[in-house]
Chain A
Amino acid sequence: MRTLEIIAIVASILILVAAGWFWLEQILAARELLEIADG
């Protein structure tokens, strides 16, 4: 496998993990805020 292809795979996985973590954090923070608001 070419070096660039390996870089592409690793970078893609990192992007997916980072984005997934970020959006999950946003959803959890929002839920917490809603619980406080209802609460």
Chain B
Amino acid sequence: MLNQWLLDLAQYFAAQDWSIGLHESIYAYALIETTHVLTLMLFLGMLIVIDLRMLGLIFRDVSAADLAARLDKPMIIGFVVMVITGFILYYAIPVRTTQSIWFRIKVVLLIAAGVNAWLFRKRMQASIHTWARDASPPAHIRRGAIRSLVFWTGVIFTGRAIAYDWYDCHKPLPEFLQWAAGCIDPSAAE
């Protein structure tokens, strides 16, 4: 089952020296985490400005195509830093992270945001010559921007929730949550 495979992968990482080193370090984990949180000012900062333009709320006198193109590079730089630091954070505490229901929801939201962004870009490129200079883009573009903001707000919310232990595996959880979070009972006979 997927849960077993994810747990096996996490335990494989957890046994590695670098993972243990990060986990036990005085500063390394804290610095990586601080970088991850602060970089959202760059990555999501640029993304939010683009989405607000796509909603016709900001920079209405600037071509939407131009704005998105200009802010793309710093946004992607921020995204790369987020992904790298995010992976290191997972790698430092792999088992608990894998079995965190919030982390799992966050990953689903990240995928949803990615798919939304890809579809959005396709639709945007197909039609942008018709509405780039409009103060307010067409309805389907605005809906894509709202979905983007909703997904990324969800990523922030669930990301923050990972640190809380309300629904950790050692807590009494309903069976559905135990399955969703991948809380595999190691003493269960197979």
Chain A interface residues (CB < 8 Å from chain B): 30, 33-34, 37
Contacts and interface: CB of A to CB of B under 8 A. Distances in A.
Interface residues of B, number: 2
Contacts of B27: 30, 34
Nearest to B31: A30
A34 B26 CA distance: 8
Contacts of A30: 27
Contacts of A37: 26
Contacts of A33: 26
Main secondary structure of the interface of B (DSSP, over half): loop
A31 B109 CA distance: 38
Contacts of A34: 26-27
Nearest to A30: B27
A33 B26 CA distance: 9
Contacts of B26: 33-34, 37
For the complex of A and B, the 5 pairs showing the least CB-CB separation, nearest first, are A30-B27, A37-B26, A34-B26, A33-B26, A34-B27
Nearest to A37: B26
A36 to B, nearest CB: 10
A39 to B, nearest CB: 13
Nearest to B30: A30
A30 B27 CA distance: 8
Interface string B7-41: 00000000000000000001100000000000000
A33 B27 CA distance: 10
A11 B43 CA distance: 29
